[in-house]
Amino acid sequence: MSAKGSGINIVIAIDHASITGGQAKVALESALGLKEAGYNPIVFAAAAPVDPRLAEAGVEVVCLGQADLLGNASKAAAAVQGTWNFLAEAEMRKLLARLPCERTIVHVHGWAKALSASIARPIRQSGLPAVYTMHEYFMFCPNGGFYNYQKNHVCELAPLSAACWATHCDSRTYPRKVWRCLRQTVMRRVARLPQIFDDFILISRFQAGVVEHRLPKGARVHAVSNPIDCHDLGRKPDPASGDFLFVGRMSTEKGPLLFAEAARRAGVIPVFAGDGPAAAALREAYPEARLLGWKSPGEVKALMRAARVLVFPSLWFEGQPLTVLEAKAMGTPIVVSDGCAGREEVENGVSGLWFESASADSLAQALVKAKDDALVAAMSNAGYDAFWADPPTLARHVERLGAVYAEILARRGAAIESAALSSGPDRASIPAVARA
């Protein structure tokens, strides 16, 4: 075991203690990687169950055993918890109080689905340095995506403006949107969550363009790619065979209906591995589509390896889609929307194809190009070679996190030393001043 992170506590705050999506996957697997590297990660989560790998690796877990907001049987209780989770506030305070301030960093990955912004208060009061990884946009947008789910397009309204409050953009109901605006107001004005972070981790250059101008003044920005769990299987022996494949949740913002329409125009059969609220409409409107339903992680990887191309038609500001990177690692070319961060992993015409976001005609043209066996074979090899030249493994992810943590602690040490020198010997023992 490396001694590099020895003695440094990393409190990893996340809504779920098990993998429920990309956000939890990155947070929990980073905890495992940090433990291996000699750090002392502590997972602080609201919603059970707990990933058994954490206990096996000796990672401490503080799980509140709560339901997440969607899983709560009481809508009223969920609304209260989502606005201000009093239990999360109290338990976070207890946890931070027992950790040494000079060797502890709080790393928040998610709060909007179970923890709530209430965790900001104990973090602020502790005076501990805190860093936030931007997996989505709930810190700035009430529905978390800068996306109008009713009209299926990116939203350009100013968050919490009068027009924002008046617009029904929620994926479910307008009253839910109003509640989300109320929660956003509490997060900004009561919890003041963004202000507890001096450091933000962004996972793609595309994402930086979306949020950098919204970050607190003086915030430091770090680029750390998500880790990808994959094995080097070698170049594909028959890259021009297989399906035009979609992988993931079948919801409107992910673009499954756009893919189905474009596939019909291109004369190809779309294949979907996943499920979700858009599945019924897709099945009715596009009976030619093959819907495989949810598959295990191993089955999904096998499908991606065997596919001719992975089609990623997302309509919203995806931060860094993991399936794009996983497909690239397997030598499967990607047909990707130019309106999301997935395009950064695809050299247009070399390792995959871009299409104009939300345009069925543009996507259909890309699918027609992907019928070319020679082009698909060339893109397969180019994508595979590019990925494995510098693979974003968990070890590299942890190494880059470690560099961020080291910078934060060094800056903190310098600030403490400066404060001690300017305050005189009577105050030299004060470790830090909590931000107001």
Residue 112: what pLDDT?
97
CATH topology of domain 244-389: Rossmann fold (3.40.50)
Cβ neighbours of residue 424 closer than 8 Å, sequence gap 6 or more: none
- The tokens of 105 are what? 């960093």
Q: What's the pLDDT band for 427 if we cut at 50, 70, 90?
A: very low
Answer for the pair 265, 257: CB distance below 8 angstroms, yes or no: no
- For strand 220-223 and strand 244-247, is the pairing parallel, antiparallel, or unpaired? unpaired
84-99 average pLDDT score: 98
Residue 3: what pLDDT?
53
393: how many CB neighbours lie within 10 A of its CB?
14
Radius of gyration of the chain (CA): 23
Residue 429: what pLDDT?
45
- The answer to whether domain 9-133+192-227+394-427 and domain 244-389 are alike in fold is yes
- The tokens of 351 are what? 């390792």
Residue 435: what pLDDT?
37
Strands (E) across 254-342 are located at 270-273, 290-293, 309-312, 334-337
- The tokens of 66 are what? 């709560």
Residue 422: what pLDDT?
74
Cβ neighbours of residue 48 closer than 8 Å, sequence gap 6 or more: 17, 18, 63, 65, 66
Q: Which is nearest to 89 in space by CA: 66, 112, 115, 108?
A: 115
Q: What is the pTM of this model?
A: 0.87
Residue 372: what pLDDT?
98
Residue 318: what pLDDT?
82
Residue-wise pLDDT tens digits, 118-162: 999 999 999 999 999 999 999 999 999 999 999 989 999 999 999
Q: Which helix H or strand E contains 117, and what residues bound it?
A: none
Indicate the range of 51-65, 106-120, 145-159, 411-425 predicted with least confidence: 411-425
> Is residue 388 predicted with pLDDT exceeding 60?
yes
346: how many CB neighbours lie within 10 A of its CB?
24
* Residue 199, SS3 per DSSP: strand
Q: What's the pLDDT band for 1 if we cut at 50, 70, 90?
A: very low
| Sequence spans of domains, the chain | 9-133+192-227+394-427, 244-389
Which CATH number fits the domain 9-133+192-227+394-427, given the four candidates 3.30.450.90, 3.40.50.2000, 3.40.640.10, 3.40.50.1580? Answer: 3.40.50.2000
- The tokens of 431 are what? 């470790």
112-116 average pLDDT score: 98
77-81 average pLDDT score: 97
DSSP per-residue codes, 123-192: HHHHT--EEEE-SSSTTTSTTSSSEETTTTEE--SPTTSHHHHH---SSS-HHHHHHHHHHHHHIIIII-
Residue-wise pLDDT tens digits, 8-27: 999 999 999 999 888 999 99
Q: What percent of the chain has pLDDT over 70?
A: 95
Quick one: CA dihedral 74, 78, 79, 81, positive or negative?
Answer: positive
177-184 average pLDDT score: 98
Burial of 399 (0-12, 13-18, 19+ CB in 10 A): middle
Residue 140: what pLDDT?
96
> Is residue 354 predicted with pLDDT exceeding 60?
yes
- The tokens of 38 are what? 């000699």
d(CA 169, CA 105): 36
User: Between residues 205 and 63, which one has the greater pLDDT?
Assistant: 63
d(CA 105, CA 96): 10
Q: Which is nearest to 324 in space by CA: 254, 262, 373, 374?
A: 254
3: how many CB neighbours lie within 10 A of its CB?
8
Quick one: CA dihedral 423, 429, 434, 436, positive or negative?
Answer: negative
d(CA 73, CA 179): 17
